Structure 1
Amino acid sequence: MHSKRVFFITVFITVTLFFLSIFGIKLGSFEIKGADQMRYGIDIRGGVEATYEPKDWDQAPTDNELEAARAIIETRMDASNITDRDVTIDKSNGKIIVQFPWKSDEADFDPQKAVSELGETARLTFRDPDGNIVLEGTDVAKSSGQINQVTMNPVVVLELSDQGAAKFAAATGRLIGQRISIYMDETLISSPIVETQIIGGNAEITNMESLEAASALAHKINSGALPFSLVVKNCTIISPTLGSNALAVMVLAGKLAFMLVCLFMLLYYRLPGLVACIALVLQVTGQLLALSVPQFTLTLPGIAGVILSIGMGVDANVIISERIKEEINTGKTLGRAIDRGFERAFSSVFDGNITVIIVAVILIIFGSGALLSFGYTLLCGVIMNFIAGVTASRLMIRSLSNFEAFRKPQFFGARRLAK
């Protein structure tokens, strides 16, 4: 694509996405939140500390039970992209202490209301008509609301553990035509009829009103995998660990650094420097959208990941600009110099980025909390570096080279005339 219009189309897309990432948009139920509505970590915005303890539990919970409860709570928080959290166990008193940040749209700053985001803390049981427990929440590996591809009706799909599959096969075999009731503690949430014996560990709950109702029931079933019911005994507000003005200071520092980098690129590399600045704006925009759309928690390590990836983006553009300048100085035509410059620079950029991608993926898979936040922002930044710093930059420079006024060597920092 060597058209002169490509540069302006790329700039238009960059500006549009930039304003979208800063101010957001809301069309009916569809919403993309702006940068000021991101979910920030405890270190930046503060949050809530909640203390949980077993409810109606006539014995002290074992260490394994407390660890299982902590793992389930952390899994829920991961599913909600709450990466900045601290879930600790007080084994001596049988309590679980959870710290997590405020939601992005929090207005009341009510800790009791905020705790509800963690989902149900009741014990899930499946019971026969006589009230006997035939299955527990810990026997359910996964639950989801789906559309049955045969009947096209909403259903809840249950995936059971091996032990749960054996229990459920025995129960459904003797309860055909009867109801198996699902309880959260002593609250009935569903009571489906057994139509046939269910073997293999996969089951469906039919006759759901809508996909939304199926998804809501599935969420409750997923939340009920706790080994015992939990009750919140204490809720407190946590102040930002970096101070209330930390975010404003970091944003100001980021803006100043970005402007200085762009000024250097413009003065030293000129036309490729201008393209590099636009590419960096597109890269940062992509990272902001990757955080605001899924409401991924942005922490201080996450900001470090953003800054590191921006540095890699600058490095990629410097390498590309230098390679283009070298090719022009050897006497190549401008078009050939641009193509050769990108070809020579790509291997260096690719090698550097691919190693960072591997590290970021490992952090996302095996890390949690702050490490997960750092890995996520770093991965998004490197991917955007490929999109903006390599692909978009090449399209823009190639487009600008079609303008006769920009074919002079001084626009590329070169000494010889590009023909």
Structure 2
Amino acid sequence: MKTKVRSSVLFLLSFAIIVFLAFAGFKGFVFGWGENQWQFKSFDQTITKGLDLQGGVSVLMEIQSDKVSKNDLEKTKELLALRVNKVGVAETVVTTEGEKRIRIDIPGKYDSKSIVDTLSKTGELKFLDPDKNVILTGKDVKEATTGVEQQTGQPIVSLELTDEGKKKFADATTKLVGQSIAITMDEEQLTNPVVREPIIDGKAQISGSTSIEEAKKLAGVINSGALPVPVKTASVKTVGAQLGANALPNAMKAAAIGIGIIFLFMIIYYRIPGFLACIALTLYISLVLYTFVSVGATLTLPGIAGFLLTIGMAVDANVLIFERIREELRAGKSAKASIQSGSHNALSSILDSNLTTIIAALILYYLGSGPVKGFALTLLIGVIISMFTAIIITRLFVNLAVNMGILNKPSLFGVKRG
């Protein structure tokens, strides 16, 4: 009796948690009253959408140099990302393709000409006094690093200047104590620190960053100074707002229909175990989408295709387990013994099929680019989580149902004896 009550409580609690996670993710909610309100945003608001879902511009830049080091490629990528973000573009996705190309996907922006002009600039870093006179340029900075101020715990950027820059800066800071020195890139101001005392040793600290990430970005711009190598626009692709606006609702409608058919099949064919599998699949879908939010994955149409494919694989794992359990029941074993041996026998097949898919996804991710990478990442995340929900969660629910006394007959698994 105690086992039955304990299993019932655990099942209902698990069911309530899964329903809450799904509702919160798909609908969102507001907690609190008045000024103390806190909003839990839905997946639609938090998951970054690719160009094919919301429109925008995709620019492919190619480095015009015979030999390109990995360091130069990464520096160029970082500086191009900072340039685009400086003009107020949110959720920009910047990735390298091959050894010489960098792709910049800019959702929600359609003025491709101004974006290409911004990206193609050679870049000029300047340190300016209050009268806009140039004190230093990027060539005068030897290195910029990030750190934390020991006394205040605030993030800082530490500068080390060249010998020539050291002398220029010493003269300027001696005259500008109490005044600000603006640091600009392509005439856009990055920061405007105040000189507290003369800096004569060529080493300075810039405070005022609100986070270590902001300090790292500032250090990255200062280190790069200008693009380390010349770049040229290889291609520009514009996706209209209307196409993006139509793509997402259609994709979501197709996904809902497909998932609904899968749930219906599982319940009709496997009955109570099928219903339990649907609960586990609901948790699986929620966990995958929460993972997308946490890792900052960009969802694209190929990504949605990969996601739906992993749902099919998650269902396949449940089908393998249930069919093995049916075989054991037909052999005359009890429900509890059939679940244990059937789950164990299906494990090797589930692992084999999922591991081969994981290997394929890893190859696609590291060798592919653009939409292929999005598909591979979605597939990889989905397969890993599907193994967890199929092997652990579905089995847990089935065992709880047996202990509760609602799944102790072969007929409840769709098996008829004699």
Aligned to 2:57: 48
Tell me the SS of whatever aligns to 1:407.
coil
| C-alpha deviation, 1:155, in angstroms | 2.6
Confirm whether residue 389 of structure 1 aligns to residue 398 of structure 2. no
Question: Aligned partners of 2:268, 2:247: CA distance in 1, in Å?
Answer: 32
Question: Aligned partners of 1:356, 1:378: CA distance in 2, in Å?
Answer: 8
| C-alpha deviation, 1:381, in angstroms | 0.7
Tell me the SS of whatever aligns to 2:255.
helix
Aligned to 2:312: 311
2:219 to 215, 218, 221: 221
User: Taking structure 1 as reference, are residues 405 and 294 closer, same or farther at Cα in structure 2, changes over 3 Å only?
Assistant: closer
Please tell me the residue identity of whatever aligns with 1:336.
A
Post-superposition Cα deviations, 1:113-135, rounded to whole Å, max 9, x if no partner, equal: x969x999783648799945575
Aligned to 2:155: 155
Tell me the SS of whatever aligns to 1:405.
coil
Aligned to 1:288: 289
Whether the 8 Å contact between 1:44 and 1:247 is mirrored in structure 2 is yes
Confirm whether residue 123 of structure 1 aligns to residue 127 of structure 2. no
Aligned to 2:107: 102
What are structure 2's unaligned runs of at least 5 residues?
A: 32-36, 174-180
Confirm whether residue 12 of structure 1 aligns to residue 16 of structure 2. yes
| C-alpha deviation, 1:329, in angstroms | 2.3
Confirm whether residue 344 of structure 1 aligns to residue 345 of structure 2. yes
Tell me the SS of whatever aligns to 1:123.
coil
User: Taking structure 1 as reference, are residues 377 and 228 closer, same or farther at Cα in structure 2, changes over 3 Å only?
Assistant: same
Post-superposition Cα deviations, 1:206-226, rounded to whole Å, max 9, x if no partner, equal: 5624643x5434323324533
What are structure 1's unaligned runs of at least 5 residues?
A: 54-60, 104-108, 161-166, 199-204
Whether the 8 Å contact between 2:21 and 2:286 is mirrored in structure 1 is yes
Question: Aligned partners of 2:376, 2:80: CA distance in 1, in Å?
Answer: 17
Question: Aligned partners of 2:348, 2:258: CA distance in 1, in Å?
Answer: 28
| C-alpha deviation, 1:247, in angstroms | 2.4
User: Taking structure 1 as reference, are residues 280 and 100 closer, same or farther at Cα in structure 2, changes over 3 Å only?
Assistant: same
Question: Aligned partners of 2:279, 2:208: CA distance in 1, in Å?
Answer: 49
Please tell me the residue identity of whatever aligns with 1:39.
T
User: Taking structure 1 as reference, are residues 97 and 382 closer, same or farther at Cα in structure 2, changes over 3 Å only?
Assistant: closer
Please tell me the residue identity of whatever aligns with 2:218.
K
Tell me the SS of whatever aligns to 1:414.
coil
Tell me the SS of whatever aligns to 2:278.
helix
Whether the 8 Å contact between 1:123 and 1:185 is mirrored in structure 2 is yes
Please tell me the residue identity of whatever aligns with 1:154.
Q
Question: Aligned partners of 2:119, 2:151: CA distance in 1, in Å?
Answer: 31
State which drifts further: 394-403 or 219-228: 219-228
Superposition map of 1:11-410 within 5 A: 11-25=15-29, 32-35=41-44, 38-48=47-57, 68=73, 71-72=77-78, 82-83=92-93, 100-102=105-107, 111=111, 123=123, 125=125, 131=135, 133=137, 135=139, 147=148, 151=151, 153-156=153-156, 183-185=184-186, 187=189, 189=191, 206=205, 208-209=207-208, 211-212=210-211, 215-223=213-221, 225=224, 226-227=227-228, 238-239=239-240, 244-410=245-411
Please tell me the residue identity of whatever aligns with 1:12.
A
Post-superposition Cα deviations, 1:96-146, rounded to whole Å, max 9, x if no partner, equal: 99763535xxxxx6759x969x99978364879994557578x76x965x5
Whether the 8 Å contact between 2:8 and 2:400 is mirrored in structure 1 is yes
| C-alpha deviation, 1:36, in angstroms | 5.7
Question: Aligned partners of 1:50, 1:86: CA distance in 2, in Å?
Answer: 12
Whether the 8 Å contact between 2:140 and 2:161 is mirrored in structure 1 is no
Aligned to 1:58: none
User: Taking structure 1 as reference, are residues 397 and 303 closer, same or farther at Cα in structure 2, changes over 3 Å only?
Assistant: same
Question: Aligned partners of 1:174, 1:334: CA distance in 2, in Å?
Answer: 84
Tell me the SS of whatever aligns to 1:4.
helix
How many residue pairs get aligned? The number is: 377
Question: Aligned partners of 1:10, 1:121: CA distance in 2, in Å?
Answer: 56
| C-alpha deviation, 1:278, in angstroms | 1.3
Whether the 8 Å contact between 2:47 and 2:296 is mirrored in structure 1 is yes
Whether the 8 Å contact between 2:76 and 2:228 is mirrored in structure 1 is no
Question: Aligned partners of 1:389, 1:83: CA distance in 2, in Å?
Answer: 33
Tell me the SS of whatever aligns to 1:11.
helix
Question: Aligned partners of 1:328, 1:364: CA distance in 2, in Å?
Answer: 42
Please tell me the residue identity of whatever aligns with 2:377.
Y
Question: Aligned partners of 1:372, 1:236: CA distance in 2, in Å?
Answer: 18
Whether the 8 Å contact between 1:324 and 1:341 is mirrored in structure 2 is yes
Whether the 8 Å contact between 1:155 and 1:206 is mirrored in structure 2 is no
User: Taking structure 1 as reference, are residues 244 and 209 closer, same or farther at Cα in structure 2, changes over 3 Å only?
Assistant: closer
Question: Aligned partners of 1:310, 1:136: CA distance in 2, in Å?
Answer: 55
TM-score w.r.t. structure 1 length?
0.70
Question: Aligned partners of 1:377, 1:229: CA distance in 2, in Å?
Answer: 34
Tell me the SS of whatever aligns to 1:406.
coil
Question: Aligned partners of 1:377, 1:74: CA distance in 2, in Å?
Answer: 26
| C-alpha deviation, 1:274, in angstroms | 1.0
Please tell me the residue identity of whatever aligns with 1:374.
F
User: Taking structure 1 as reference, are residues 401 and 209 closer, same or farther at Cα in structure 2, changes over 3 Å only?
Assistant: same
Please tell me the residue identity of whatever aligns with 1:389.
A
Tell me the SS of whatever aligns to 2:191.
strand
Whether the 8 Å contact between 1:35 and 1:292 is mirrored in structure 2 is no
Point out which structure has higher relative CO (alpha carbons under 8 A, 6+ apart): 1
Tell me the SS of whatever aligns to 1:3.
helix
Tell me the SS of whatever aligns to 1:48.
strand
Post-superposition Cα deviations, 1:242-293, rounded to whole Å, max 9, x if no partner, equal: 5752322222222221111111111111122111111111111122222345
